[in-house]
Structure 1
Amino acid sequence: MAGPNDIYVTLTRYIFSEYSSSTTVEVINETRSTVTCLCFFQSSKMTRGRLGKGFMGPLLVADMVVYLIILALASWSLNNYIDGQQSHPHLGGNSATNYMLLMALLAGTTGAVSIIVGLAHFLSWSVSSMAAAISTAAIARAFTGLAFGLAWKEIKLGGRRGKRLQTLEVLIIVSTLIHLLYILLLHAGHFNQKYGPYYGERRPQDIGEGPSHEARKSTGNEPNQPDA
């Protein structure tokens, strides 16, 4: 990646060749300040939040695996319930099972979608992608919380519950904890920048002031034409 000096030299040559001498010095000074600030922002962005990003990668993988298994088990169980096969050796259940399966299916679907958005945020690691990741994660957390409550009610009511139904209950409880950690990690940058981006972070155009209004007005969009 080109450094500030390389970019500055290239822009200086362009300015000398395109603009008149009356505005060259002012434009060069403004350009040098802008290039230095932008390069500093890019460098700080590359090193920012490495600790949080290191935690988020494995957490996303674990959360995705759990949600996909929940989605598979809930789909299979609900399909058997619709077909009237509640007496299946791996199924069983009680009066709370129907509601729990519906919520588990919604939790698995929204959870998998939120992890996909989270992977996009993991790759871009910016404030704009963080907003989408937090929004989808909050929706998935709401459905997962509802499924958790119904799974706990199903466990409390007892009765015969097959191995797959018991596995689904355990995974719903596990996903509730993992997804909560994921949401906390998304917000960790608000407390310490080494954990990731945060709302209110300054954009590159806010760090460097760039060419002043007078310089832009004097240069315009086209180079000055020599007098006839």
Structure 2
Amino acid sequence: MAGEGLKPLATGLLLLNFCMCVIVASIGGWAINRAIDHGFVIGPSLELPAHFSPIYFPMGNAATGFFVLFAVIAGVVGGASAIAGLNHIRSWNVNSLPSAASVAIIAWTLILLAMGLACKEIERGFRNARLRTMEAFLIILSATQFLYILAIHGASTIRP
């Protein structure tokens, strides 16, 4: 069967991407939890501070809020794409390819968006080690997700 040689490559990339998406979503969840616990406290008069932002994060810089929110979304969608990809790898035929490919491309575009915000955060400077880890994982994940898409599309010559 044509494309059978790409199956181990696609499986390895799928597992790598799933693990990286779980790590990105976990670190993002930590950052959101910390922002909720250490964010602005509204006093008894219920007045918001002068420079209130609903996505204020006590660590990082001005881009951190957007970066973390989009990174969590990208991590969750990337994990969901791994589930659809697992179904495709299990059956490995042209009937399962469209669903796996479409959700992988959606996850990749969200990962690219989060990677762009990571680049902005790197440019702004002043961030902690966990945010730097999440930035690095997203930059690597953008490349490995693209390679995974190429691997499953390279096997599109397979017959049902």
Please indicate the TM-score interval, normalised by the length of the shorter structure. Answer: 0.7 to 0.9
What residue in structure 1 maps to residue 105 of structure 2? 138
Q: Give the whole-Å Cα distance in 1 for the aligned partners of 2:106 and 2:71.
A: 14
What secondary structure sits across from 1:187 in the alignment? helix
Which structure has the greater CA radius of gyration?
1
RMSD over aligned CA atoms reads 1.4
Q: Give the whole-Å Cα distance in 2 for the aligned partners of 1:174 and 1:82.
A: 28
What residue in structure 1 maps to residue 92 of structure 2? 125
Considering Cα pairs closer than 8 Å and 6+ residues apart, tell me whether 1 or 2 has the greater RCO.
Answer: 2
What residue in structure 2 maps to residue 75 of structure 1? 29
Map 1:155-166 onto structure 2 (within 5 A): 155-159=122-126, 161-166=127-132
**1:189 Cα deviation from its structure 2 partner:** 2.8
**1:135 Cα deviation from its structure 2 partner:** 0.9
Q: Give the whole-Å Cα distance in 1 for the aligned partners of 2:145 and 2:108.
A: 7
Residue type of the alignment partner of 2:38: G
Given the two structures, how large is their TM-score scaled by the length of structure 2?
Answer: 0.84
What residue in structure 2 maps to residue 101 of structure 1? 68
Residue type of the alignment partner of 1:48: A
What residue in structure 2 maps to residue 16 of structure 1? none
Q: Give the whole-Å Cα distance in 2 for the aligned partners of 1:112 and 1:122.
A: 15
- CA distances 1:60-96 after superposition (whole Å, capped 9, x unpaired): 1111110000010001111111222655xxxx20000
- CA distances 1:184-210 after superposition (whole Å, capped 9, x unpaired): 1121135xx4xxx3xxx5x6xxxxxxx
**Number of matched pairs:** 143
Do residues 184 (structure 1) and 150 (structure 2) align? yes
Q: Give the whole-Å Cα distance in 2 for the aligned partners of 1:115 and 1:184.
A: 15
**1:164 Cα deviation from its structure 2 partner:** 0.8
What residue in structure 1 maps to residue 78 of structure 2? 111
What residue in structure 1 maps to residue 17 of structure 2? 63
For structure 2, which runs of at least 5 residues remain unmatched after alignment? 40-56
